[in-house]
């Protein structure tokens, strides 16, 4: 069964010089959830203060990250030696490595920039091959300013409107509905001409100042420069790689050390300073790991460690660590998706695992497809270590089980008729299209049972929380259970012809529970020993009338929502009948391929849809009645050596 792991609140105190060692011991335990001690202890007699200190490794780590670490193998598992480096040693080594790569990197960046500029210029000059002008002289005229670029060809005719202006546009090439060329003007008129050309959607392209000669000569020179820079870039990259290869081990060790120490300093910010000379560290550990945690702490001298029950006040909400059995454990991801329970709450994972598995199997019953899903889930779980794989394997077995009841094997609906006939079970297999009413009313019945079960769970939880008003008088309490069950009894009696309705039945099972829900607020206050408060009798009657009507409507809609359980049984049978029909139409040669492809298509498409719909039923029809996901997760402090993540997880 699922439950919530028992925790203990740990308080560690000691001299300030042992603060980092205490944090490292907590990190090594891999079971310590850190809390902000200064915030928790605020207002106490110990007069705590937050830790204010400079982190010598933060700037050094940023400096190291400025190096190109793509060629450095950074181990993410090996823990650093705490005594291997100091901040001074690391700073000295970083200065030496940075100096050795600085000139190479600057030369590499310069060569790459020049090569890119030359390549862009080659593209642009390809549109000037018809020109015989010396570009060097053209671009450096004293009395004429020229701009090179392109404008839409459709705007060439508009240049006639500006014939009186002091500029000339000369076209040299056309490509992709654009005209390429120069426009010329005088220095004193160029500003107004630039404005005109921008209005005509002219796009200017810069020709580097070092370009000279005709476009053909300039392009030949640029191609030569590009070739030279490519050779230079290759040589510089090899030289840089050689430096990184020689320093790779040292860089990796310094990275791990600084990442670790930087994390320790960040965690120190969560501690409190008591009386200016001692630190206080607070957090939670699982009771099951208390012994191993204490062994880690015992390695640090002069520490005082205290354990106590988790506080229940709002200032210190305990984290939650779910404890699930082997079958339910994979479904914890769905529970966490909805929200974790509070520490003293209810872990619904077992309830979710059982109901999810059963509902999926009912809605997607097929022996062959279910077993195939089981094998796929087993592969994803064992080989790929995907959490969803374990869920797929479980619901696959459920699908296969209900497929046996339905007699469906890869869409062949009558394959199991003979075996059931030999076993002497006349009502099986339960073919969907032949037992429509069974599936429709069965789905509604399943919905009613699920709602009743969720109400029972809610009553138990509220009684444990001593919330007697909700446990007894709420729509998801005892009165709500009795009222809903009584209505179901009336409906069943009408459908079966059994007389269940009587005056005592109506009075004690329908009217009294409904009145209890109507007066739940004053009754709850009475039970809790609190004064009864409401603004006016009219407002009280109106609001509670509509709320009771909403409760009644909710019971109906939530129950009918489960009709989808039967609907997907029909959907699966219908889709597979279409696949079989297509297989018969294609002939014997292509029929096996149609059956295989059709089964895979239905399994993927309908399996995904059914999985989502079952999750919806769990969240909206069951969890909404009995579960509050307002807890916070138990996250033990760890250090990540991944360059793409934050260094510390807390």
Q: Which two tokens stand for residue 393?
A: 């394997």
Least confident of 23-37, 357-371, 459-473: 459-473
More confident residue, 77 or 522: 522
Q: What's residue 523's pLDDT?
A: 76
pLDDT value of residue 636: 92
Residue with tokens 């295989």: 596
pLDDT over 90 at 399, yes or no: yes
Note the pLDDT of residue 9.
92
The answer to whether residue 647 scores a pLDDT higher than 60 is no
Domain boundaries, the chain: 3-51+269-318, 322-430+565-632, 465-560
**Dihedral sign (CA 585, 587, 590, 595):** positive
> Does residue 174 have a cis peptide bond before it, meaning omega lies within 30 degrees of 0?
no
- Alpha-helical runs (H) found in 66-157: 87-125, 135-139
Please report which confidence band the pLDDT of residue 566 belongs to, taking 50, 70 and 90 as the band edges.
Answer: confident
Q: 441-483, pLDDT tens digit by residue?
A: 889 999 899 999 999 998 888 888 788 888 888 888 888 888 8
pLDDT at 650 over 70: no
What the block records as the tokens of 526 is 């009475």
Give 42-85 pLDDT, tens digit per residue: 766 566 666 666 788 888 888 888 887 776 776 655 666 667 78
- The 10 Å Cβ neighbour count of residue 490 is 15
Q: Vertex 428, ends 424 and 432: CA angle to 5°?
A: 165
Residue 47 has a pLDDT of: 60
Looking at the DSSP bridge assignments, the partners of residue 9 are 284, 308
User: What is the residue-averaged pLDDT of the chain?
Assistant: 85
Question: Is the CA virtual torsion 523, 526, 530, 535 positive or negative?
Answer: positive
What percent of the chain lies above the pLDDT cut of 90? 20
Given pLDDT bands bounded at 50, 70 and 90, which one contains residue 395? Answer: very high
327: pLDDT confidence band, cut at 50, 70 and 90?
A: very high
Q: What is the pLDDT of residues 238-264, one digit of tens each?
A: 888 888 888 888 888 888 888 888 888
Distances (CA, A) of 546 to 53, 493, 553: 59, 28, 10
Contacts of 139 (CB under 8 A, 6+ apart): 146, 207, 209, 211
What is the pLDDT at residue 528?
Answer: 65
The beta-carbon contacts of 234-237 under 8 Å, at least 24 apart in sequence, are 236/104, 236/107, 236/108, 236/111, 237/108
pLDDT, position 126? 84
Cα–Cα dist 521/548, whole Å:
12
**Predicted structure pTM score:** 0.77
CA-closest candidate to residue 471, choices 522, 527, 532: 527
Give the separation between CA 37 and CA 50, rounded to whole angstroms.
Answer: 8
Rounded mean pLDDT of 188-202? 89
pLDDT of residue 363: 92
Mean pLDDT of 360-370: 92
Note the pLDDT of residue 390.
93
Contact by Cβ (8 Å): 330, 324 = no
Least reliable range by pLDDT among 53-67, 69-83, 329-343, 536-550: 69-83
pLDDT at 611: 92
Query: What is residue 291's predicted lDDT score, i.e. its pLDDT?
Result: 92
Locate 255 and state its tokens: 């990275």
pLDDT at 599 over 80: yes
Residue 493 pLDDT: 85
**Higher-confidence position of 648 and 276:** 276
Fold of 3-51+269-318: Alpha-Beta Plaits (3.30.70)
**Quick check: 373 pLDDT over 90?**
yes
Six-digit token pair at 300?
A: 């640090």
């Amino acid at each position: 069964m699922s439950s919530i792991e028992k925790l203990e609140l740990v308080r560690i105190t000691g001299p300030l010089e042992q603060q980092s060692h205490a944090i490292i011991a907590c990190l090594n335990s891999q079971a310590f959830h850190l809390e902000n001690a200064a915030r928790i202890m605020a207002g106490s007699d110990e007069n705590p203060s937050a830790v204010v200190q400079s982190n010598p490794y933060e700037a050094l780590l940023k400096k190291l990250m400025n190096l190109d670490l793509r060629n450095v193998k950074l181990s993410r598992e090996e823990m650093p030696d705490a005594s291997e480096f100091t901040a001074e040693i690391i700073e000295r080594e970083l200065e030496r490595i940075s100096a050795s790569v600085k000139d190479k990197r600057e030369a590499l960046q310069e060569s790459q920039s020049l090569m890119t500029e030359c390549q862009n210029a080659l593209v642009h000059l390809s549109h000037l091959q018809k020109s015989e002008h010396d570009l060097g002289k053209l671009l450096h005229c004293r009395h004429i300013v020229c701009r090179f670029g392109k404008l839409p060809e459709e705007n060439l005719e508009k240049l006639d409107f500006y014939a009186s202006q002091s500029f000339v546009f000369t076209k040299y090439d056309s490509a992709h509905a654009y005209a390429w060329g120069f426009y010329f003007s005088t220095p004193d008129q160029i500003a107004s001409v630039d404005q005109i050309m921008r209005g005509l959607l002219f796009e200017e392209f810069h020709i580097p100042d070092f370009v000279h000669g005709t476009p053909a000569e300039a392009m030949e020179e640029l191609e030569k420069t590009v070739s030279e820079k490519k050779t230079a870039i290759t040589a510089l990259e090899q030289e840089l790689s050689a430096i990184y290869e020689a320093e790779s081990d040292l860089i990796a060790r310094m990275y791990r050390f600084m990442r670790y120490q930087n994390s320790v300093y960040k965690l120190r910010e969560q501690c409190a300073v008591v009386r200016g000379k001692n630190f206080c560290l607070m957090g939670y550990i699982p009771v099951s790991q208390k012994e191993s945690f204490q062994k880690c702490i015992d390695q640090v001298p002069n520490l005082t460690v205290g354990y106590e029950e988790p506080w229940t006040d709002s200032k210190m909400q305990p984290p939650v660590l779910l404890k699930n059995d082997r079958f339910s454990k994979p479904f914890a991801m769905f529970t966490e998706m909805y929200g974790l329970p509070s520490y003293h709450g209810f872990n619904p994972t077992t309830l979710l695992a059982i109901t999810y598995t059963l509902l999926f199997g009912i809605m997607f019953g097929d022996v062959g497809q279910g077993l195939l899903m089981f094998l796929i889930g087993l592969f994803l779980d064992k080989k790929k270590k995907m959490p969803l794989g374990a869920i797929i394997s479980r619901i696959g077995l459920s699908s296969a089980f209900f497929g046996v009841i339905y007699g469906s094997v890869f869409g062949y609906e009558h394959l199991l008729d003979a075996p059931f006939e030999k076993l002497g079970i006349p009502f099986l297999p339960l073919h969907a299209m032949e037992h429509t009413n069974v599936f429709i009313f069965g789905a509604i019945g399943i919905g009613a049972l699920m709602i009743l079960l969720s109400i029972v769970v809610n009553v138990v939880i509220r009684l444990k929380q001593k919330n007697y008003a909700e446990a007894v008088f709420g729509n998801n309490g005892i009165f709500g259970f009795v009222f809903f069950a009584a209505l179901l009894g009336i409906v069943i009696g009408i459908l079966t012809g059994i007389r269940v309705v009587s005056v005592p039945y109506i009075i004690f099972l329908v009217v009294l529970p409904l009145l209890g829900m109507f007066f739940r607020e004053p009754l709850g206050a009475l039970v809790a020993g609190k004064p009864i408060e409401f603004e006016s009798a009219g407002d009280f009657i109106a609001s509670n009338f509509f709320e009771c009507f909403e409760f009644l409507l909710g019971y109906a809609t939530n129950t009918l929502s489960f009709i989808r359980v039967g609907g997907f049984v029909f959907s699966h049978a219908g889709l597979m009948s279409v696949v079989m029909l297509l297989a018969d139409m294609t002939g014997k040669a292509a029929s096996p391929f149609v059956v295989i492809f059709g089964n895979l298509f239905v399994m993927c498409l309908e399996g995904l849809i059914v999985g989502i719909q079952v999750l919806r039923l769990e969240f909206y029809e069951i969890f909404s009645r009995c579960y509050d996901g307002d807890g916070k997760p138990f996250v033990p402090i760890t250090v990540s050596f991944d360059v793409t993540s934050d260094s510390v997880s807390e």
